Amino acid sequence: MRPQLPVAGELWFTLLDVGQGLSAVIQTQRHTLVFDTGARFSDDFDAGSAVVVPFLRELGVSYIDRLILSNADNDHAGGALKLVEKIAVHEILSGEPDELTLGRARQCTNREVWRWDGVTFRFLYPVQKNQSEGNNASCVLLVESSAGRILLTADIEKEVESWLLSHVPEQLTADIVQVPHHGSKSSSTRDFVTAVSPDYALVPAGYKNRYRFPRLEVVQRWQAAGALLLNTANQGAIRYRLHPVEGIVGPESYRMDAKRYWNAGE
């Protein structure tokens, strides 16, 4: 039986549970985008092959149109090498392409917009010839359909949040946001949280991680803005459907609903 696919204008969004790292998958009717791959933990184990690949195969995906590695840190790009060995990838973009070992990535910039199957994708950051490194080099991606908007912020900190507020404030409002930098107190400034004003704030964090992410003050800030805050450490993979008629359907928690093996330990 062929796997079900989104209808025209619909998108499926899943924030995967890769422990202390980030990986998200977006599907439209005919295209697949992977945003980060989680970490490489050892020569024998990485989130790309242990989590992302099984998830994509469960969906029937054998080809990734765009792989975005927001920055070159291990918790975002460490699983990429094994992923591209197992699943064909058409194009790789990154905020730090020269720091990657893959050798064929190009720079994401805020001038790039594309449309797949009635869904619009837009980089809000970084700018061309950006000199930032690490967290503040991260690609920031806005995904928009008739049903709603998703904002993926990777590891940006308060300096980039301030830049976004100054340059693209009208494009920050989102229904679903990936909380910047796993809920670190270096991010999620009050003005940024107010500008995004989401219904759902999603934290990609490891269970009992040593950084104590998300920090309590960050959680409280998003909740005070009216968001339901969900954490992959507690919910496992979190999935939504943004349907042109039904609107936003979800969240669905794989840990609670399906008990899939790619959900990290309790």
Q: Are 138 and 156 in contact (CB under 8 A)?
A: yes
> What pLDDT band is residue 86 in, cutting at 50, 70 and 90?
very high
pLDDT for res 208: 87
Name the DSSP letter for residue 50.
I
pLDDT value at 264 more than 50: no
Cβ-based neighbour number of residue 136 at 10 Å: 23
Residues 6+ positions from 138 with CB-CB distance below 8 Å: 70, 71, 76, 95, 125, 126, 153, 154, 155, 156, 160
Please give the average per-residue pLDDT across 159-169, as a whole number: 98
pLDDT value at 262 more than 50: no
Cβ burial, residue 186 (10 Å; 0-12/13-18/19+): middle
138-to-115, 196, 220 alpha-carbon distances in Å: 21, 18, 24
CATH of domain 11-256: 3.60.15.10
> What pLDDT band is residue 1 in, cutting at 50, 70 and 90?
low
Q: Which residues are 33's β-sheet partners? A: 26, 66
